[in-house]
Chains A and B, each alone.
Chain A
Amino acid sequence: MSKPVILCVDDESMVLESLEIELKRTFGKQYLYEFAESAEEALEIIDDFENDDSSILVLISDWLMPGLKGDEFLIRVHEKFPKIIKVMLTGQADNAAIQRAIDHAGLYRCLYKPWRREDLIDVVNAGLMAK
């Protein structure tokens, strides 16, 4: 069985690269790490992984992105894969969107940019524990 996956979605590559470094340094080889620059790309990845019998454990998504916005994206994922732990990482708080994600996507936590590494790791750990 493949390793579980942590999927990060953000339209900013510098954010994805930062997350990659942080996550890999923290969790090392326990997980696979996937990165997508848009919600659409992330949906493809999720489908691929689920078909490959791997599973996405944690989904960390930006909210303000071209195309599908974070809350809609998470809701769509939640419909198919309610077990995935969904975390939002955003530079801008749109309370209504976050509330929608909480209500309809089972949003686990919302983090704000600029985030602290400890918070990010705590949230991922807590999410994994809660699973």
Chain B
Amino acid sequence: MPLFATEEIPCNIGILAYRSKELTVQQWQPTADYLNQSISICTFHIIPLNFTEVEAAVQNNTVDFILTNSGHYVTLEYIYGITRITTLIQTEQGNQLKKFGGVIFTLANRNDINTLADVVNKRFAAVKDDSLGGFMVAWEQFYEQHIDPYSDFSELQFTGMPHDNVVSLVQNGQVDVGTVRTGVLEQLAQEGKIKLADFKVLNAQSEKDFPFLFSTQLYPEWPLAKLSNTSDELAKQVVIALLKMPFNHTALQAGDYSGWSVPLDYQTIHEMMKKLRIGPYEKSFFTWKDVLYQYALPIILLTLGLTISLVGIIVIIKINHSLQYQIRERERITTVLEKTNANLHQEIIEHKRTLTELKETQTQLVQSEKMAALGHLIAGIAHEINTPLGAIRSAVHNISDYFTRPTGLQRLPTFFHELKLEQQNQFLSLLERSLQQEAILSTKEKRQARKALTVELQAQSILEADIVADSLVSMGIYDDITPFLNLLHLQENQSILEQAYQLASLQKSARTITSAADRAAKIIFALKNFAHFDQSGEKIQTDIIEGIETVIILYNHQLKQGIEVIKNYTKLPEIWCYPDELNQVWTNLIHNALQAMKNEGILTITTRLEENQIVVSIQDTGSGIPDHIKDKIFDPFFTTKRAGEGSGLGLDIVRKIIAKHRGKIDFVSQPGDTTFNVFLPLAS
């Protein structure tokens, strides 16, 4: 029990009085008393109100709680934001009911009416158009069957309360079909006013624990609701008190109900009303708000669906576009590819041809490098050959001329005839000395010899000593002239010497021809060796030193310009090789050495045998290879020479040729000492 009753704070419970207000107060006062006993913070009063008064009381907040029927509650909830806090458990024919619905019925013998669809164009009766159990729930069922009671029935009659009126009309055949709140038929049957068997229920439903016939959805019974201003604390205490109300409390008997339940869900009523556009949803015909409110989920889903569909369609269109584009692109690309393919095919053919040409060019380059090396030699070789040719031509002319000129052979018999026997002998010995002369003096030595002889001849009082001396030296007689002094003292000494010189020159010419021919032959032989283009492509057993010598002969004129050649030859066994190609190697290496030395210095060529290989070293005293090009000198087309002087292929070809012989080449270089070493295996 509360310590203090606070009479000062009233708490009004408005209750819809569908009978008289007195009866209503009488019915509910015990419940208010119960609450007053349970709750101390305020005093509860029952305020009986009719329909319009209920709404005014809610609107003006003159009540704290409101108890009204479910349909009415939903409207107030919608408009004024009242909140149900508990659901009334009704007592009907001994049953405790938290739900109610409607029953649609016709006479049992109406064979033409079996379903809701059969009701179309039939006469229909209900108690009131705003009665939830008495009409709306039935309407909902018709609505679901796409039947509009207001247009599809031949007659729609609202009888007014009580529900019994509707049952009477159907029973009497004044209407074909009627609807009433659940429990009415059973009540009338219990009272003996009708027999249930005379009626049949259309669209009959069943639900566990629901005792009456029904055709519709079941909806929650009356809720007790709190107004929006009513404190949550008070509402909580009221709910707790009501839920705790003992099942045998006197208030229950007075109120003719069974108790209170946790509040049921009234949303179903909202949805039903929205569907039918009644109650709070009546005015807002076709407003988007309603639509949104009622169909929020479907709309959201639909919108979502549509959006997804739209997006999908757009995406599909785009994809389609994209695909079409891609197809076109692909077709284009295919065309391009086909063209490219054709081009590539053409290019491959071109490349193959180019490759063939390049191979030919390479062969030509190798050949031309060989010819270039030869070209370096040609100038010198021309000199080398023209020199002996010139000498030969001169000598031959001298010999042939001797036989024709007056002072020559023609003069000889007379000349001998004029000489005394002793003089003849001296002449012959002079000639013999000349012919036997083998020492070859340099021009300088000859001049010295001539000077010495001149002095000696002058001492012997021989006239024109210088001319005599010159003749003697020309004949190769440089000293020991005593045996010829008698002859030289003769007045005709010059004529005698002239004849002797002529004869001696014949021999000299013959010797010149021999040596010149040898020289020319040697060069030609070297050239032939060098330019020997081996067509067989097979290796030949060759003495490497011979090849080196060949090259040295060809370079002879250049070497003798200022190069001292040192040959450190160790005799080598013959090896199987490509001699003309190796000659190119020696030519390149020697040529490079000469260039490095600028034709002045020492060229040392060494051959030696080392295990299973031959080593040929070509050393020069030239400027050396600068460090920064040491790793490039074997690269093709690398050259330090001016344009036109070298192909830059020399050392590349050298390396290739040596590689072909399974050999290798290396070098060490510093200023004044560069050595290239060529290693060739003995066994191929």
Contact = CB atoms under 8 A, between A and B. Distances in A.
A89 to B, nearest CB: 8
Nearest to A63: B383
A67 to B, nearest CB: 7
B474 A91 contact: no
The A interface, classified by DSSP as helix, strand, loop or mixed, is mixed
A66 B398 contact: no
A67 B467 CA distance: 31
Contacts of B382: 91-92
A19 B443 CA distance: 13
Interface string A92-110: 1010000000000000000
A18 B380 contact: no
Contact of B386 (A11, A94, A113): A113
Given A11-B560, A66-B561, A90-B383, A18 B444 contact: no
Interface stretch (A20-28, A71-79, A80-88, A123-131): A20-28
Contacts of B440: 13
A22 B444 contact: no
Contact of A113 (B389, B466, B515): B389
The B interface, classified by DSSP as helix, strand, loop or mixed, is helix
B383 A64 contact: yes
B404 to A, nearest CB: 12
Contact of B562 (A33, A45, A66): A66
A94 B393 CA distance: 23
B357 interface: no
Nearest to A19: B394
B557 interface: yes
Contacts of B397: 22, 117
Nearest to A44: B444
B391 A18 contact: yes
Contact of B398 (A11, A13, A16, A22): A22
Nearest to A29: B467
Interface in B355-412: 379-380, 382-395, 397-398, 401
A64 B508 CA distance: 25
Contacts of A64: 380, 383, 557, 561
B43 interface: no
B442 interface: yes
Interface in B483-531: 501-502, 505, 508-509, 512, 515-516
Nearest to A22: B394
B395 A18 contact: yes
B387 A12 contact: yes
Contacts of B508: 17, 21
A43 B610 CA distance: 50
Given A15-B391, A17-B508, A92 B386 contact: yes
Given A36-B443, A41-B443, A90-B383, A21 B393 contact: no
Nearest to A111: B390
Contacts of B442: 13, 37
Contacts, number: 101
A46 to B, nearest CB: 13
A36 B560 CA distance: 16
Given A18-B390, A113-B390, A114-B392, A66 B379 contact: no
A92 B395 contact: no
A1 interface: no
Contacts of B474: 20, 24
B387 A91 contact: yes
A41 B390 contact: no
A21 B384 contact: no
Interface in B110-151: none
Given A37-B442, A66-B562, A14 B383 contact: no
A91 B390 CA distance: 9
Given A14-B516, A22-B394, A66-B560, A112 B386 contact: yes
A49 to B, nearest CB: 11
B393 A116 contact: yes
Given A14-B387, A37-B443, A64-B383, A117 B562 contact: no
Nearest to B384: A91
A53 B389 CA distance: 37
B422 to A, nearest CB: 27
B389 A114 contact: yes
B388 A14 contact: yes
B383 A92 contact: yes
A63 B393 CA distance: 20
A7 to B, nearest CB: 10
Contacts of B470: 32-33
A66 B560 CA distance: 6
Contacts of B502: 25
Interface of A: 11-22, 24-25, 29, 32-37, 41, 45, 64-67, 90-92, 94, 112-117
18 contacts: A12-B387, A12-B391, A15-B391, A21-B508, A25-B502, A25-B505, A32-B470, A34-B443, A35-B443, A64-B383, A66-B561, A67-B562, A92-B383, A113-B387, A114-B386, A114-B393, A115-B393, A117-B397
